[in-house]
Chain A
Amino acid sequence: MDELGMERLLDHYQDPRNYGHLDDPDIVYEEGNPSCGDQLRFELKLADNRISEVRFSGKGCAISQASASMLTERIKGQTLEEVKTIDKDEVLEMLGLEISPMRLKCALLPLKIVKAGVYGIKGWPGEDED
């Protein structure tokens, strides 16, 4: 096991960044993973077409929670157009740990939610292309 990667993951899991809720958010989207019942919610506040504030909430495994926490740091201050360019590989690189195929859904759930919120549709264009 990659000790350093695990260290970072645990840090975000046990001390998540931007966890909680916003007053009067502009974009709210939540979704669950039906196989485990986990549910995540993202709330975004926009100013000058940029994400000025972001919060996430909900329960989940270490991988989905850490991925959500890291993603909030990544998208804060970005334009919606910039958020649309974030892809699967970038999230996996951000997590910095080898994710087994069975856990990909956990790792990518936060991105799926943010993109669905930004696009205003369930999922996003090109989601299933690999």
Chain B
Amino acid sequence: MAQVQTKSVLDPQRIRADFPIFERRIHDKPLIYLDNAATTQKPHQVIEALQDFYTQHNANVHRSVHTLGHEATVAYEAAHKKVARFINARSWREIIFTRNASESLNLVAYAWGLWNLQAGDEVLLTIMEHHSDLVPWFMLREHKQIVLKFVDVDDQGRLRLDQFKKMLSERTKLVGMIHASNVLGTVNPVRELVAEAQRVGAITLVDAAQSAPHLPLDVQELGCDFLAVSGHKMLGPVGTGFLYGRRELLETMAPFLRGGDMIETVTLEGATWNELPWKYEAGTPSVADGIALGTAVDYLTQLGMENVYQHERELLDYALPKFLDLPGVQVYGPHDSQDRVGVISFNVAGVHPHDLAGLLDEEGIAVRSGHHCAQPLMNRLGMDNTARASFYIYNSKDEIDKLIAGIRRAQRIFRV
């Protein structure tokens, strides 16, 4: 990742104009949307792509010889191709559309894990994982008696690489790692981790839900076997996500869900599977949403992912010192913008995160409060819940000033 400090070329004011939701007022104030780690807002291009599909091209894919059927099929495949280019996959057949990163991670647990793991095999995860990269492996611990191991973080929330190396062995069959923490913003050195895991012959799975939307990603450079992404956290429609899988694995693995469109032939004795990626996309897919995810990828590609990363880094460099200067405010995770995406988790002494989020909402400011679906990490760092502000391409320094003012107002109301 480039560490050169360049001036951001993104103009949040111009970008905002592409997002119809910013015309809305919340409690008669302009919307300041800082809950991007949960889901991002959608540009009009994406919304229009949905409209365009239903008004111009609506048909099922891979079935019909008529014009609409052909157009829908071509557009849906083209969206896979856009996503493949976005993460530099060798082939678009390595891209499986899912509903979200959770489904992508479950696909790996069911289609690879269930068939390849035996009792006593080890799966190495990090304590930073989102619940969606923990709970599917719990299933295999119960069902197949596999052993789960968890790499710890240091008190600043950086992964303990020394421990990671020690926990790897020939028993390790899969290593699952979150690329960027949705709680701390920490970016893990995935390339190094993947290389280490490969030395013991382990399969590697990267949860890129919080990295793919925020920094340039290249699966060939990372070298991972699987990579899970949420489309709706990168301007795509809700209900979209994808899994990248190395073709050699996808071709030999068992299917995930079974049904329409994923088969080649069926007799009463059995079935053979369709070609990639359709083998893993059973039933009629969410065609319009998938096509609109392609439009979201176009939008980000046009901005340039290096610019997206630099813009967020600039916001972090602006926001972090202000947060650290606030009396009574504790910031979790690394206190600098090095190897970090635009997520700030924090607590205000004497003000519960839910109350803070409620008071900020009165100012039109949307932040998340809670445990962020990462309870083991929260427990490890000694926090029950936090408030979380997460940035994206349309956020500005002016909005960070308003967030800080909102926090001070909450402190005045609670007299702390």
Residue from the list A1, A35, A37, A61 in contact with B355, Cβ < 8 A: A61
Q: Does B14 contact A (CB under 8 A)?
A: no
How distant is the Cα of A32 from the Cα of B162 in the complex, in angstroms? Answer: 37
How distant is the Cα of A60 from the Cα of B353 in the complex, in angstroms? Answer: 9
Q: Does B301 contact A (CB under 8 A)?
A: no
Q: For chain B, which range describes its interface: under 10, 10 to 19, 20 to 34, or 35 or more residues?
A: 10 to 19
* Chain B CB within 10 Å, residue with most, of A10, A37, A59: A37
Chain A, 94-126, contact with B by CB distance < 8 Å: what is the 0/1 string?
A: 000000101100100000000000000000000
Check A100–B385 contact: CB distance below 8 A: no
* A30 surroundings in chain B (CB, below 8 A): none
Check B415–A102 contact: CB distance below 8 A: no
Check B371–A36 contact: CB distance below 8 A: yes
User: Which residues in window 356-413 of B have CB below 8 A to A?
Assistant: 358, 361-362, 369-371, 375, 378, 384-385, 413
Residue from the list A1, A6, A10, A103 in contact with B354, Cβ < 8 A: A103
Check B371–A63 contact: CB distance below 8 A: no
Check B358–A38 contact: CB distance below 8 A: no
Residue from the list B351, B369, B413, B415 in contact with A36, Cβ < 8 A: B369
Q: Does A62 contact B (CB under 8 A)?
A: yes
How distant is the Cα of A38 from the Cα of B385 in the complex, in angstroms? Answer: 8
Check A36–B370 contact: CB distance below 8 A: yes
Q: Which residue of A lies closest to B354 (CB)?
A: A61
Q: Which residue of A lies closest to B362 (CB)?
A: A1
Q: Which residue of A lies closest to B359 (CB)?
A: A1
How distant is the Cα of A38 from the Cα of B384 in the complex, in angstroms? Answer: 8
Check A37–B371 contact: CB distance below 8 A: yes
Q: Does B414 contact A (CB under 8 A)?
A: yes
Q: Which residue of A lies closest to B416 (CB)?
A: A14
How distant is the Cα of A1 from the Cα of B409 in the complex, in angstroms? Answer: 12
Check B414–A61 contact: CB distance below 8 A: no
Check A63–B413 contact: CB distance below 8 A: no
* A100 surroundings in chain B (CB, below 8 A): 358, 361
Chain B, 138-170, contact with A by CB distance < 8 Å: what is the 0/1 string?
A: 000000000000000000000000000000000
Q: Does B352 contact A (CB under 8 A)?
A: yes
* B353 surroundings in chain A (CB, below 8 A): 36, 61
A-B contact pairs, 29 of them (CB 8 A): A1-B362, A1-B413, A6-B413, A10-B415, A35-B370, A36-B369, A36-B370, A37-B371, A37-B378, A37-B385, A38-B354, A38-B384, A38-B385, A59-B384, A60-B352, A61-B352, A61-B353, A61-B354, A61-B355, A62-B351, A62-B352, A62-B355, A62-B414, A63-B354, A63-B355, A100-B361, A102-B358, A103-B354, A106-B354
Lowest 10 CB-CB distances: which A-B pairs, in order? Answer: A61-B352, A61-B354, A37-B371, A62-B355, A36-B370, A61-B355, A37-B385, A36-B385, A37-B384, A36-B354
